[in-house]
Amino acid sequence: MLTHRHPNAQAPSRVVVLGARGFVAARLIGVLASEGIACRPVGSAEVDLVALDAAAKLQSIIRCDDALVVTSALTPEKGRDRATFLKNVAMIDSVCTCLADHPCAHIVYVSSDSVYDSRFAQVNEETCCESNDLYALAHIVREKLISEACQRANIPLAIVRPSAIFGAADTHNSYGPNRFLRSALNERNITLFGHGEEERDHVYIDDVVSIIRGCLMHGSTGVINAVSGTALTFQEVAGKIVAALGKPVTIETAPRRVPIVHKRFDATALFQAFPDFVPTSMEVGIQKSLALLSSTEAGRGSRGSAQ
């Protein structure tokens, strides 16, 4: 559950964003800039959070009155093995080492819905966090480490757990709306595992950023799921993309690689924390994503023909 320390929204003096080139961070930085909120992006080229000198470099950047947003993580396509797990833990350990001697005013840590035990099809913020998957386990450990560090340093902490995020600027091409959109546009084809019958919550990128921004503006503490509150099957998502594109697209099936896992979210806590928040529907999110993807592809085509 989330608690607002500032009932009336107030902008932080400055927001430091770790993982500046990532999908969520890049959009957040753009929103903060558009609102005139001071922002200090920090990417891996400037501070490699796995490196031994990472904590010292962070201490030279972070000020005591800063709000810190932590989005840095190696995502599943980078690996679910022991080496990737250890790197993900090392990243947050560097942040914790920095905070021990150099606290800031507020932290928003962006985690993942993977922390929830996959045995539970209906999920809220109180659902058990447990997994044998090393990617999910890394996020569980990271949450515990940063929670302990913030408690010791007396830093207010908000943990945001997004469900599957989609949007045109996604860099991971993960199975679901992101991959389906590109495949439908470029190949006129969408491939579903099995019959795409799993029910999942997909949240549009702007909604995730809106929730993070809300946590920053209210100095929030606690845990909140960044979700749409609506579960759709992958087959339904594919159908909505085909309908939005308005052109022939073949939907094919491939052998299932993993067992069927449904995940639906109870968004009651989210709507209580942010009463004005209205999730972007899948249809609207698809339309926005297609418009951006189409304009990007058109731009690339224009540049290519000019050369």
DSSP for 71-128 reads -----GGG-SSHHHHHHHHHHHHHHHHHHHHS--SEEEEE--GGGB-TT-SEE-TTS-
Residue 305 reports pLDDT greater than 60: no
Residue 47 reports pLDDT greater than 70: yes
Give the C-alpha separation, 160 to 183, whole Å.
30
Confidence bin at 120 (pLDDT 50/70/90): confident
Residue 301's pLDDT is 45
| 48-73: average pLDDT | 97
C-beta separation of 81 from 134 below 8 A: yes
What is the bridge-based pairing of β-strands 221-226 and 2-3?
A: antiparallel
168-192: per-residue pLDDT in tens? 988 778 899 999 999 999 899 999 9
Give the C-alpha separation, 123 to 48, whole Å.
34
The CATH number fitting domain 2-167+203-229+262-280, selected from 3.40.350.10, 3.40.630.30, 3.40.50.720, 3.40.50.1970: 3.40.50.720
pTM: predicted TM-score of the whole model, two decimal places: 0.93
CA dihedral 143, 144, 148, 150 (to 10 degrees): 10
Nearest to 170 by CA among 241, 77, 59: 77
Give the C-alpha separation, 37 to 67, whole Å.
11
Confidence bin at 297 (pLDDT 50/70/90): low
State both tokens at 219. Answer: 């100095």
With DSSP H G I counted as helix, E B as strand and the rest as coil, what are the percentages for the chain, rounded to 5? 45, 20, 35
Residues contacting 227, CB < 8 A, separation 6+: 113, 162, 163, 201, 203, 265, 267, 270, 279
Nearest to 235 by CA among 178, 283, 293, 194: 194
| 38-59: average pLDDT | 97
Query: Count of CB atoms within 10 A of residue 302's CB?
Result: 9
Comparing 115-129, 202-216, 231-245, 292-306, the range with the smallest average pLDDT is 292-306
Comparing 24-33, 34-43, 267-276, 296-305, the range with the smallest average pLDDT is 296-305
What is the bridge-based pairing of β-strands 164-166 and 199-204?
A: parallel
Rg (CA), the chain: 20
Residue 296's pLDDT is 64
Residue 273 reports pLDDT greater than 90: yes
